Amino acid sequence: MDNKKEIVICLGSSCFARGNKYSVKVINNYLKENNIEEEVYFHGNHCFGKCDKGPFVKIEDVMNEKVSSENITGILDKTFKKKN
């Protein structure tokens, strides 16, 4: 992965049905719009096993709970220290 930041989105049925299918699109768009696709390893995972606190997106070693397409941009901004 040569020093890329890792983003892992839960694609288990509960997280996927509760919004991660939309968050995938938002994350992909964010990476493209900020021209950081080459700096990030973004992939799915099946289940993190804590469905009651999902949907989950793990960025590096930080597990983000109750992620939605509305709040994921703020989480990404904090992670990538957007300077706008």
Domain edges within the chain: 8-67
Amino acid letter, 44: G
pLDDT tens profile 6-54:
999 999 999 999 999 999 999 999 999 999 999 999 999 989 898 999 9
Q: What is the pTM of this model?
A: 0.90
pLDDT tens profile 56-72:
999 999 999 999 999 99
Concatenated DSSP letters of 33-78: HTT-GGGEEEEEES--S-GGG-S-EEETTEEE-S--TTTHHHHHHH
Phi and psi, residue 3, nearest 5°: 60, 25
